[in-house]
Amino acid sequence: MERRMSDRQLPRPRIAILGSGAMGSLFGGCLFEGGSDVTLIDLNASHVEAIRREGLVLSTDSGERSIRVPAFFPHEVATTFDLIIVFTKTMHTTAALSAVRSCIGPKTILLSLQNGLDNKFLLTAFARPQNVLIGITTNPADLVAPGHVESHGAGIARLAATAEPATPILKLLPDLLARGGLNATVDPRVETAIWEKVAFNAALNTLCALTRSSVGQIGADEATRSLAFAIAAEVCNTAIACGFAVNRSHVEQTLASAMQHHTHHKPSMLQDVLAGRTTEIEAICGAVVRHAKERGLSTPMTETVLALIRHIDAKIAARS
């Protein structure tokens, strides 16, 4: 696949994607196609080796192509990057950044587009707050085979600084991503959007994972449907107590719409449980319950699903 040539010269920061599974490969592959200097980093041997052998096969609405983007294991990279986009699952963030600590210089910018709360605190253990960006993305992606990622449908990434002055890379990133065909915008209200997505995930991902049901099945049963809305309400109350003006009716509409239109969808937490992988429950319900407790709020439904998913995670961890 030929890399796209740009009409207008943009700066070319050295970008690493730390955790190049489904989302990391999508963003890394698209950035590379758009002309960016990208290095994929991942631990998954079959995936890294397939990319080295055949290129990264990306299937999107623009078609299927093989992208010759460099892919490395963490121990193989030594150079300092201008930007590291963290796309591991949240429970692997700290281990992943520790393993590439030598690639993080005083000017390296760290960006998390992962799901869940408090990713910025994990990143600020490795870089000063002015060098930490956070965001959220609605792009979907699936690793369908080693070296092969699929992503269909539109999405948008919303990005923000966590401290002033904002790094110039923040302004540049939407352009770099756009050249690779990905939508992105700078949105100072991104933390509110993150809480809204957490409300959605805390409600639906947990119930689907616990019952092994699709989103439509949860929505079709009055009891589980009500439970989902009750969990989302607890998360919204917690967000508001933390100072984030989440739009409760928007969250409810998104839940109702998913239950109506994404009837066969199996959320990532259900896929993780079915595949015998531990889940991102701590960054979702674990963080919500912690913030609620700090503010004296009660979140009984969220605490219940948290305890149950922790139980499943502990059994999975014991097996592996």
Could you list the residues that contact ligand NAD (CB under 6 A)? 18-19, 21-24, 41-44, 47, 74, 87-90, 92, 95-96, 99, 114-115, 137, 140-141, 143, 268, 280
Judged by beta carbon, residue 100 or residue 236, the one nearer ligand NAD is 100
CB of 194 to ligand NAD, least distance (A): 11
Q: How far is the CB of 75 from ligand NAD (least distance, A)?
A: 10
Nearer to ligand NAD, 149 or 231 (CB): 149
Please state, in angstroms and rounded to a whole number, the distance separating the CA atoms of residues 90 and 94: 8
Our CB check for ligand NAD shows the closer of 153 and 165 to be 153
Rounded CA-CA distance 320/318 in Å is 6
> Which residues lie across from 14 on neighbouring strands?
37
Site of tokens 């984030």: 244
Q: How far is the CB of 139 from ligand NAD (least distance, A)?
A: 6
- Nearest distance from C-beta of residue 280 to ligand NAD, angstroms: 5
Q: Which residue is nearest to ligand NAD (CB)?
A: 21
Q: Give the residue with the Cβ less far from ligand NAD, 156 or 256.
A: 156
Measure the CA–CA gap between 123 and 102, rounded to whole angstroms: 15
Q: How far apart are CA 150 and CA 128, in angstroms?
A: 34
Please state the closest distance from residue 144 (CB atom) to ligand NAD, in A: 11
Closer residue to ligand NAD, CB minimum distance, 90 or 237: 90
Q: Please say which residue, 234 or 272, places its beta carbon nearer to ligand NAD.
A: 272
Q: At what angle do helices 222-241 and 287-294 cross, to 10 degrees?
A: 50
Helix residue ranges, H only, the chain: 22-33, 45-54, 93-99, 119-123, 168-179, 190-211, 215-220, 222-241, 248-261, 268-274, 281, 287-294, 300-319
Question: At closest approach, how far in Å is the CB of 104 from ligand NAD?
Answer: 13
For the chain, the 3-state helix, strand and coil shares in percent, each to the nearest 5, are 50, 15, 35
93/237 with CB nearer ligand NAD: 93
Please state, in angstroms and rounded to a whole number, the distance separating the CA atoms of residues 159 and 168: 13
**Residue 145 φ then ψ, to 5°:** -165, 160
Find out whether 157 and 190 touch, Cβ atoms under 8 Å. no
Please report how close the Cβ of residue 34 comes to ligand NAD at its closest, in angstroms: 19
